[in-house]
Structure 1
Amino acid sequence: MTSEHQKRDEHNFVLKASQLLNTQWKILEQREKPDFIIREDARTFGLEVREIFLNENQDKGGSSIKQTENHRSKQLERFARSFEKKSDLALHVRLLRKSGAGNVSECELKELHEALTAENLERRETGYQTQFLLRCGTKVWVTKEFHSRWYILNDRVGWVSQDPIELIQAAINTKGKKLDTYRNNAGLGP
């Protein structure tokens, strides 16, 4: 199951790919297996989005780093839903944590809650921006917006392989095994 933030990221990846390929893709549908149904001129096709990570291991459920990032993301997502439900706010919150900080601690979330509450964001105009440093060393940027977006900046950046061809080919091979399923689900037949 793909989370809302993953779906939003995938949508942005498709738009950026279309731009970089100098095409005019129209997203007809965002879904699963394949992730998108796309129209380009008179052609319709299914598009599967796949992120690739340096240390992923297909036999053991993928990248251990990505699994840890997903865990942190879910921790923050639960906190965000709870905070925004109680406060009736939509916030764009970015956290920059100390290197090697591990999972998000209850203490860190408590400090974040206290700092956000102290900002009286309910009384601020949409577009209001602030930043602060939590006692645990996490730097936080907050913008009051119309849509909620919370993420840990450390998990959005990483090392880039200088020779990614083997990683890319392995991902293509894995997805290629599901090609008939993607074609059938997209209504394009085998």
Structure 2
Amino acid sequence: MTRAQQKVRERLFAERAGGLLGQSWTLGGDRENPDFLVDCEGHIFGLEVVQIFAGRASRKGSAIRQQEAARHEILQRARRRVGELRPGELRVQVVGAVTDEIVDQLADGILEYDIEKMSPGTRFTVTGGGAKAYVTRAFVSDWFAVADRVGWVGRDPVPAIEAALLSKKDKHTAYRAVAEDIRVLIVADRTQNSGKLVLEADTRLDVKPFRAAYFLSYPDSLVVL
């Protein structure tokens, strides 16, 4: 994911958090340290957004997230190839292993269909390399591995949340040069397997030196820490 794509995601998360709080958050332009200056009905505060993930992590980050990203890139390359040869938006759900070789076989199978002439909602299935792709003619393109969007929901994200807060603590002084009120938004993106984390609503953590911290289990749950 490019930095520009990451900022789009951060803005999406921040806007959703404000909505779940029932507050009117107007986000300023993209920036760093903190990620946004937010106008909440005339009060300005700095907001730093940090994403956490389920599973084991190394110095390079979440192992699950790295695997998701690798599969995502393979599928996006296939999406672009199919789109160049057979224009038309498709929702492609892949069940099975996702490798360059297997996805190329699935893409070849999709290319056998006259996508441009299909009506939205038309469905078909292709197989290749032991994997299967469930394809739907759609209004918006969406290629993904089903394994990356299903899985158990973790219910103890507190260690990851505390680690995220600690990782930002040393930057608090730099953040304060921009705004007196600095807050942190910690996000688990539950639309991906790597982000399937939820937190009990009554959980309270020590968020000092930040004025406030929030945990967003995107897209529909927010806890004020």
Which AA in structure 1 matches 2:26?
A: K
Q: TM-score, normalised by structure 1?
A: 0.72
Higher strand share: 2
Identity %: 30
Report the RMSD for the aligned CA atoms in angstroms.
3.1
Residue 157 (str. 1) matches residue 156 (str. 2)? no
Q: Counterparts of 2:82 and 2:173 in 1: how far apart (Å)? A: 43
Contact 1:36 1:46 survives alignment (8 Å) = yes
Residue 124 (str. 1) matches residue 121 (str. 2)? no
Contact 1:131 1:141 survives alignment (8 Å) = yes
Higher helix share: 1
Corresponding position of 1:93: 92
**Once the two structures are superposed, what CA deviation does each residue of 1:43-96 show, in whole Å capped at 9, x if it has no partner?**
334433322223243x5211112111111111112222232233343433332x
- Aligned in 2, Cα 1:119/1:181: closer, same or farther, shift over 3 Å? farther
Listed as ranges, the matches of 1:163-174 within 5 Å are 163-174=156-167
Q: Counterparts of 1:124 and 1:182 in 2: how far apart (Å)? A: 52
Aligned residues: 180
Contact 2:71 2:99 survives alignment (8 Å) = no
SS in 2 for 1:68: helix
Listed as ranges, the matches of 1:10-49 within 5 Å are 10-30=10-30, 33-49=33-49
Which AA in structure 2 matches 1:115?
A: G
- Aligned in 2, Cα 1:138/1:19: closer, same or farther, shift over 3 Å? farther
Listed as ranges, the matches of 1:75-90 within 5 Å are 75-90=74-89
Q: Counterparts of 2:159 and 2:135 in 1: how far apart (Å)? A: 37
Listed as ranges, the matches of 1:56-75 within 5 Å are 56-57=56-57, 60-75=59-74
Listed as ranges, the matches of 1:168-187 within 5 Å are 168-181=161-174, 187=178
- Aligned in 2, Cα 1:43/1:105: closer, same or farther, shift over 3 Å? same
SS in 2 for 1:138: strand
The Cα of 1:168 is off from its aligned counterpart by 0.5
**Once the two structures are superposed, what CA deviation does each residue of 1:116-175 show, in whole Å capped at 9, x if it has no partner?**
2233111234x3442425242324243432x43322232133333322212101011113
The Cα of 1:111 is off from its aligned counterpart by 2.9
For residue 114 of structure 1, the aligned residue among 108, 111, 123 is 108
Contact 2:106 2:132 survives alignment (8 Å) = no
- Aligned in 2, Cα 1:150/1:28: closer, same or farther, shift over 3 Å? farther
Which AA in structure 2 matches 1:14?
A: A
Q: Counterparts of 2:62 and 2:174 in 1: how far apart (Å)? A: 24
Q: Which runs of 5+ in 1 are unaligned?
A: none
